[in-house]
Chains A and B, each alone.
Chain A
Amino acid sequence: MLYYALNAFASPGLATVSGWAATKKGFNLSASTLLNADEHALLDAAIAGSDEAYTIMVERYHSLMVAVAAAIVGPSLAEDVAQDAWFSAHRALTKFERRASLKTWLLRIVSNEAITRAKRESRHIALDCSPSDSSYLDDERFSGNGHWARKPSQWHLDTPDALMEEVDLHRCINKTLLLLPPQQRAAFRLRDIEQATFEDISQWLGVSAANARVLVHRARLTLLDVIDHYQETGQC
């Protein structure tokens, strides 16, 4: 019933209107209803002019869009680019064919916005595949013949359950995530938190799939180093 009601407002005649005012008349769904609505219903409500639907979409995807923008254009312009991407998405919402998920579509838009902005501002963020502040695989780790010179240390917390109980360690991980270079941070988030494919990550970040893998690996190594240190010292 709700779906049909929403579709009635998303009819082609109304849907081509880009602003809110023309479609919002008579449309009033509660935030809680929209929070539990599926993606199609949310999109239909947004097209019909619901501020709540837009707010929920922004809450869900904005920070991820900022992370992708930061990886391409740098952190200082990322917020601005993400907001421009919302404007582009808003204008194109009625043309969205829904073959991909809303998240995929939004990330493609923000990626394009960021690439365009990077060109316009002559900003080129060099691919940062360096281990950054990770010292786990430093030069002293391996001998000349490629074998471990300094072996991986034994962890006293070495099961998922034991690690899950260490609240201080979780803080260390989150602190480290914030300090990762933007490309590594975005790649890690897309892969390990959002479970995106490397093909998608490479497209969104404008890097090759091989480089996307390297970025994720570097991020994991930095986090591994943090856990290793915590196991030894009990501190970040």
Chain B
Amino acid sequence: MLKCKDVSQRASEYLDGADRPLKWQMRLHLAMCSNCRRFVRHLALTRDLASKVGDVESCSQSQSRKIVQKLRNKS
């Protein structure tokens, strides 16, 4: 039987598609524990929000041109 601490540590594994035994253990625990349900829901919201608004640094066109120029000079 998983404890809340175990659920908190394996919640991402569950969200990302865990193997069947873990999935059922998690489901059983979540059916009984509202705190863990809230935690897993918050973690899923976090993942979904960050994946949408995460403004990953991109390489600007001028930077890209410089790199291509270096490549050209080197080859």
A residues sitting closer than 8 Å to B (CB atoms) are 18-20, 51, 54-56, 58-59, 62-64, 67, 83, 86-87, 90-91, 137, 141-142, 145-148, 151-152, 154-155, 158-160, 163-164, 169-170, 173-174, 177-178, 188-189, 191-193, 198, 213, 216-217, 220-221, 223-224, 227-228
Contacts and interface: CB of A to CB of B under 8 A. Distances in A.
B75 A87 contact: yes
A83 B70 CA distance: 9
B22 to A, nearest CB: 12
A51 B11 contact: no
Contact of B49 (A86, A160, A228): A160
Nearest to B10: A217
B54 A173 contact: yes
A192 B50 contact: yes
B31 to A, nearest CB: 16
A86 B70 CA distance: 10
Interface in B39-75: 39, 41-43, 45-61, 63-65, 67-68, 70-72, 74-75
B5 interface: yes
Given A55-B61, A87-B71, A87-B75, A164 B42 contact: no
A35 to B, nearest CB: 11
A83 B67 contact: yes
Contacts of B75: 18-20, 87, 90-91
A10 B54 CA distance: 37
26 contacts: A51-B68, A55-B64, A55-B65, A58-B64, A83-B70, A83-B71, A142-B4, A151-B38, A152-B35, A152-B42, A158-B41, A164-B49, A170-B55, A173-B54, A177-B55, A177-B56, A191-B16, A192-B50, A193-B56, A213-B12, A216-B12, A217-B12, A220-B43, A220-B47, A227-B45, A227-B46
Where chain A touches its partner, the secondary structure class is helix
Nearest to A195: B51
B73 to A, nearest CB: 10
Nearest to B61: A59
A114 B33 CA distance: 44
B50 A223 contact: yes
Contacts of A178: 57
A59 B54 contact: no
A86 B71 contact: yes
Interface string B18-35: 000000000000000001
A150 B4 CA distance: 11
A146 B5 contact: yes
A87 B74 contact: yes
B53 A224 contact: no
Contacts of B41: 158
A59 B59 contact: yes
